[in-house]
A = this chain, B = another copy of it.
Amino acid sequence: MSENMKRILVSIIGVPVILGSIYLGGIYFFIVIAVISLLSQLEFYNLAQHKNLQINKKLGLLAGLAVLYLYYASKEEFFLPTLLLIFMLFMIIEIFSGRESPLLNSSIILSGIIYPTALIGTLYPLRQTDSLIGVDGLNLIIALLAGVWLCDTAAYYIGKSVGKHKLFERVSPNKTWEGSAAGFAASLTVIFALKYNGFLGSSFTTVDAIMLSLFSGVGGQLGDLFESLIKRDAGMKDSGFLLPGHGGFLDRFDALVFAAPMTYIYFIYY
């Protein structure tokens, strides 16, 4: 089977599963979010291992699951004691394991819990909150994903056809300013279309729409750049092999690492 066929096949299965779980919410959406976050976290640890570190990946993933559970149980206020306990546990394990580089090992295992798991995991409370300033979590998350996906698509095709000025050659050599601007314009267009359509409720202001466009259109691109940066740092082209034709999970969902928590913090805490 060609790479392109594989890519299409994965999409034919993956896209309906993701959309269905968003629609159903609750445990279904939680499982999808947990699978995406934890496999991305595993890929992050695999990348870090190319820097010659010995990471206790199973334990890191278990800790990632514990943090995701806080979102599931609406116990975000216990994040502080949970993270302190997790870090103390990692430190004790480094004392007894006798591995090289305890300082870097325990730092990387901690980072993997935040990036990507705690960051992507914010999608769950975003989806579940009934009324975020009058807009249902389901509608908000659809708008966010539409913004991210259209930004990605527009940036790719416009960049490829008319892009001339390199955006960030050092980090991601194929990206151009033209593509990036087109991506943001696409986010802006879809978010404002959804706003004027009434899809985001009547109290969703113009400022809210601009912010959501920034989160999906600029935040999404920053997520993409950071992921390119750490792959380059690790000397890898793809983050993993788990999604044939799409690279890895982290490659596929990197934009959400910024777009989702920005939206979560703005609409839930601000």
Contacts and interface: CB of A to CB of B under 8 A. Distances in A.
A102 to B, nearest CB: 5
B118 A262 contact: no
A171 B85 contact: no
Interface in A132-188: 168, 170-171
Interface string A207-219: 0000000000000
Interface of A: prevailing SS: helix
B95 A171 contact: yes
Contacts of A59: none
A40 interface: no
Contact of A104 (B77, B104, B118): B104
A95 B180 CA distance: 15
Contacts of A94: 226, 229
Interface stretch (A6-14, A108-116, A198-206): A108-116
A104 B110 CA distance: 11
Contacts of A108: 103-104, 107
Contacts of A83: 79, 83, 114, 118
A48 to B, nearest CB: 6
Nearest to A265: B81
B95 A230 contact: no
A118 B84 contact: yes
Contact of A87 (B84, B92, B115): B115
Nearest to A77: B77
A234 interface: yes
A230 B95 CA distance: 9
Contacts of A264: 81, 84
Interface string A67-96: 000100000111111011101100110110
Contacts of A95: 168, 171, 222, 225-226, 229
26 contacts: A76-B77, A77-B77, A79-B83, A81-B269, A84-B114, A84-B265, A87-B111, A87-B115, A87-B119, A88-B258, A88-B261, A88-B262, A91-B222, A94-B229, A95-B168, A98-B170, A102-B226, A102-B229, A102-B233, A103-B108, A104-B108, A106-B111, A106-B115, A107-B107, A107-B108, A111-B111
